[in-house]
Structure 1
Amino acid sequence: MAQIREIKQRMVAVGTIQRITKTMQMIATAKFTAAVQRTRATQPYTEKIRELVAAVCSNPADLDHPLVGADRKPSGRDLLLVIGSDRGFCGAFNANVLRNALKFHRSLVEQGREVVVETSGGKAEAFFNFAKIEIAQVHNVGDKPAYDTVAAIADAYMDRFIAGEIDSVRVAYMRFESNARQIPEIEQLLPMQTPEGEGDGGGSDMYEFTPDEESLLNALLPQAVRTSLFQAFNDAVVSEQIMRMIAMKAATDNAADLGRTLKRDYNRARQARITTELTEIVSGAAALS
């Protein structure tokens, strides 16, 4: 009797967990759909900005602009922004991003560099606090990145880079390629890099620029930095939601399998108890006759 009661309690608990994980899966699916729409809406703009930068930068070697690191004195200091999530239950999302970021951080330290760590997301903050690595600043961007918020962060980075406070800015995040592929990435935000292969083969000789190229670069390069950082935040949100959706579906399926196993064990236990009771009744009746 005690065994049957215990199995029944476990069945109720598993059923409750299954309903919770199913709900979380549905919420993650809805958030993923919305995040993908936001990301796809910004991608053409980001790509076009990069194309324009590549078109203007016909000869990257001759490019003289503060954001590409021209005429600067090294400070020996690099900035690393790590984008994690505020919540868990998203599979290996945080583990992959944070492991990649920590590995890169250690490689810079081994080279004698001073690394300024900034984070976005509670999980990233908790990870670096646990690792006893000082966090210079925490950004609360959330799971719906606002362009103005991200642009302000990018502007602060550009100001510090131009002032010579830092030599580089890199972003550790989960890059979204497709529903089946998300890759932990360390992307260099500053100094700016001309898209490989796009700055050659014609370049500005194919265009007549009004105003001049320098004026265009002064407008385009800062905008390219802002849009690249915004794209990184959007990619991180999309990757987080799809990995949470997958994790919650797996948890729901596992709960369903466990529920079926417990139901089978429950039926067997009841059958065994009924058989035992019938045997006792028959034995008692035989003893009385």
Structure 2
Amino acid sequence: MANTRALVKRRKAIRNIRKITRTMELIATARFKKAMDRAIEADAFTRKIAELAADLAASATNIHHPLLEKRAEVKNSVLLVLCSNRGLCGGYNASILRDASTALRKVQGEGIQVHLDLSGKRAISYYRYQGVQAEHTYTHFEDKPSFEEVDAVASRYLADYIAGKIDRVDVAYMKFLNAARQAPVVETLLPLTTLAPVPSRKSPPSPSGGGVGGEGGPTQVEYEFLPSAAGILEEILPMSFKIRLFKCFLDSAVSEQIARRVAMKAATENAGEMIRDLSSKYNRARQAQITKEISEIIGGAAALK
């Protein structure tokens, strides 16, 4: 009797947990769709401004901008790690922190002073446990990061880079490739030495196999700069960096919701399997108990004859 009561109690608890995980799965699905829409909308703008900045930088060969110049010797760098504030998202945070820690050790091994910036409570608690001091921490970036919030961080990086306080900016985050694939990466955003256009996830390749020109590569676009190339680059290059950093935050947000949706779906399915297993055990225990009671009744009746 005690065994069946324990099974009933445990089955009830798991059913309640399944309701919670199912609800969290639905919430993550709704947030994922909204975050993915924002990421896809920003993708076209990010790609276009990267193309424009690359074309302008290639056309204005006589213009030297500090954001385009790679330092001869890198002494100080920034590593920004983008994680989540909440858990229950599978191996999302662990994958990012593993790659970020590897990059951190590699840069420190080269004798470079690393300034660690952390976004997300999971990253903050991890490095606090590791005894690594963070220079800046952020916990206000949720599943809907705004450009104004990212702009404040990006502007500080730009000012420090132009002033010579830092020589490189790396970002460790979960890159959103498509709804079925995300990958932890560590990308260098400053200096803007490689202004390659961001590949589109929606545009099909050119039938001719080439780029814009259609024959072996993109056609070089000639620009007439008004009022000046330097003035235009002064606006385009900082904006290109800010947009790329904002895209990192958007990718991180949508990847987190995908990971949480997958984790909660798996938890819900596992809870269903446990409930079925416990129901089977309960039925067998109840059947054995009834059989025992019937045997006792029959035995007692036979003894009275």
Q: TM tier, shorter chain?
A: over 0.9
The number of residue pairs the alignment matches comes to 287
Greater fraction of residues in helix: 1
Are 2:76 and 2:114, in contact at CA under 8 Å, matched by a contact in 1?
A: yes
Structure 2: which amino acid aligns with 1:244? R
How far residue 56 of structure 1 moved from its aligned partner, in angstroms, is 0.9
Percent identity (aligned): 41
CA distance change for structure 1 residues 63 and 267 in 2, over 3 Å: closer, same or farther? farther
Distance 1:9 1:251, change over 3 A: same
What is the CA distance between 1:74 and its match in structure 2? 4.3
CA deviations over 1:230-257 (Å, ceiling 9, x no partner):
0000000000001000000000000000
Q: Distance in 1 between matches of 2:34 and 2:235?
A: 30
Question: Alpha carbon RMSD of aligned pairs, Å?
Answer: 1.9
Which residue of 2 is the match for residue 181 of structure 1? Answer: 181
Counterpart of 2:96 in 1: which secondary structure?
A: helix
Structure 1 position 59, deviation (Å) = 6.3
* 2:225 counterpart SS class: coil
Query: Counterpart amino acid of 2:135?
Result: A
Give distance in 2, aligned partners of 1:253 and 1:60.
58
**SS in structure 2 of the partner of residue 57 of structure 1:** helix
How far 1:63 sits from its partner (Å)? 5.5
In structure 2, what is the Cα distance between the partners aligned to 1:30 and 1:63? 47
CA distance in 2, matches of 1:212, 1:194: 23
TM-score (norm 2): 0.89
Which position in structure 2 is the counterpart of 1:97?
Answer: 96
In 1, the alpha carbon distance for the partners of 2:127 and 2:45 equals: 33
Quote how far apart the aligned CAs of 1:212 are.
2.8
Offset, 1:131 = 1.0
Distance in 1 of aligned mates of 2:130 and 2:227: 50
Structure 1 residue aligned with 2:208: none
> Residue 69 of structure 1: SS of its match in structure 2?
coil
One-letter amino acid of the structure 2 residue matched with residue 94 of structure 1: N
In 2, Cα distance between equivalents of 1:104 and 1:75: 15
Q: 2:241 aligns with which of 217, 225, 242?
A: 225
Q: Give the conservation status (yes or no) of the 8 Å contact 1:15–1:259.
A: yes
Q: Please, what TM-score do these two structures have when normalized by structure 1?
A: 0.94
In the alignment, structure 1 segments of 5+ residues that lack a partner are none
Contact 2:100 2:172 in 1 (8 A): yes
Deviation string, structure 1 residues 136-195 (Cα, Å, up to 9, x no partner): 011232221110110111010000011111110011100000111101011111111333
Which residue in 1 is equivalent to 2:275?
259
Counterpart amino acid of 1:208? E
What amino acid is the match of 1:67?
L
Counterpart Cα distance in 2 of 1:133 and 1:226: 27
Over 3 Å counting, the alpha-carbon distance change for 1:201 and 1:64 in structure 2 is farther
Match for 1:2: what amino acid?
A
Q: For the Cα contact (< 8 Å) 1:116–1:135, is it kept in 2?
A: yes
